Amino acid sequence: MKTGRIIRSLSGYYDIQIENSDIQRARARGEFRKSGQKPLVGDFVDFESENDEGLIWKIHDRVNALVRPPIANIDVAVIVTALKEPNFAPNLLDRQLVALEAAHVTPLIYFTKVDLLDSIELEQAKKVAEQYEKIGYRVMLFNPESPEVSWTDLKVYLKDQVSVFMGQTGAGKSTLLNHLSPALGLETGIVSKALSRGKHTTRQVTLIDVEGALIADTPGFSSYEVFDFPVEDLDDYFPELADIRNQCRFRGCLHLNEPGCAVKESVTVGDIAQSRYNSYKAFYELIKSQKPKYSTDNRNF
C-alpha cells in the first residue's frame, strides 16, 4: 500500500504523486461511489498501483475542500479579478470570498487588467483594493510598470503552499499562470468584448510544481454556485460584519430591518463599504429563495 497526493483527475483516473516525486495512476474503488464520496485533486490517499493500473483504497481526512473548482487541502486561493474587460463585479468577488470563508480557505485577491484603466479608474481601483485590505484580505494590484516585480511577489507568497487560481472567465488567470511559469504552456483565451466574457480554455484540474509552489489550474467561470449553509450563518463569512455584530441591540440580528443594528450604522458612517453590505443583502435573499438540492446520482467518477 502506498500513500500520495492526487495531482490530476481526468476521465475517472487519478495521477498520484508519492514521496520520491514519482507519479502513478489509479482509479477509485466502487465503494466510494456507493458512499457518495469522490477523490479530489489535492487529496492524500492510500492506493495500490502497478503499471498504471491500481485502486485508491482510502481518502485521508481533508483540511478543507471546494466544490467549484473541485480541489482539497488548499492553503490559499488566488482570486484573479479583472478591473476591466470584463468590468469589475464586486458581487462576484464577494461571492467567491464568502464561499472561501465558508470552506476555511485563505483568499488572496489579485487584480488584473490595470493597464487598461485611465487615471480616474486607477484611483478608484486603488480605493477598492484598500477597501478589501481594510477588511483583512491580502490584496495584490498588478503593476504594469513593473510586471516582473508583481509576478515575483506572488511567487514568493505562494512558495511551499498549495494554491488554487480561480476567477471569472476572461480575467487573465491563464495569462498570469503563463507568466509565473512559461513552461506550463497554458492556453490563453481571447475575451469577447461584445459579450464581456471569455471562452473556457482550461480542460482539467491539475496541481503543477512551480518553483516550490503547488499551483492548481482550473476551468474559468463567470457565475458561482449557490451557498450551501443556513442564511443565519451568512454574517459569519463577512469578517467586517462578524467583528461588530455583538454590538447590535438584538442577539441574532440579521442586519436588515432591525432597530439598533451596529452593522447598518457602520454602513451609514462609511466604516463598512456600501457595496459589501449590498452583497450581503443580495446573498441573504438568494439563500432564502434557493430550493434544497437533492442528489439522485452519485456517479461522479
Name the binding residues. 112-115, 167-175, 248, 253, 255, 261
Q: How far is CA 50 from CA 28, 31, 75, 182, in A?
A: 14, 20, 31, 33
Counted residue by residue, the chain has a size of 301
Residue 260 to residues 203, 248, 253, 269, Cα–Cα distance (Å): 50, 6, 9, 14
**CA dist 72 → 97, 157, 162 (Å):** 17, 20, 10
Query: Which amino acid appears at position 101 of this protein?
Result: E
39-50 residues labelled b (16+ CB within 10 A) or e (exposed):
bbbbbbbebebe
Measured in whole angstroms, the distance separating CA 276 from the mean position of its chain's CA atoms is: 18
Q: What is the DSSP letter of 39?
A: -
Binding-site residues for Zn(2+), please?
Answer: 248, 253, 255, 261
Q: Annotated binding site for GTP: which residue ranges? A: 112-115, 167-175
Cis amide bond preceding 90, omega within 30: no
Distance, in Å, from the CA atom of 97 to the CA atom of 102, rounded to the nearest integer, reads: 9
Q: How many CA atoms are closer than 13 Å to the CA of 36, on its beta-carbon side? A: 4
Kindly report the number of other CB atoms within 10 A of residue 128's CB atom.
Answer: 20
DSSP string, 237-276: G-HHHHHHGGGSSSTT--SSS-TT-HHHHHHHHTSS-HHH
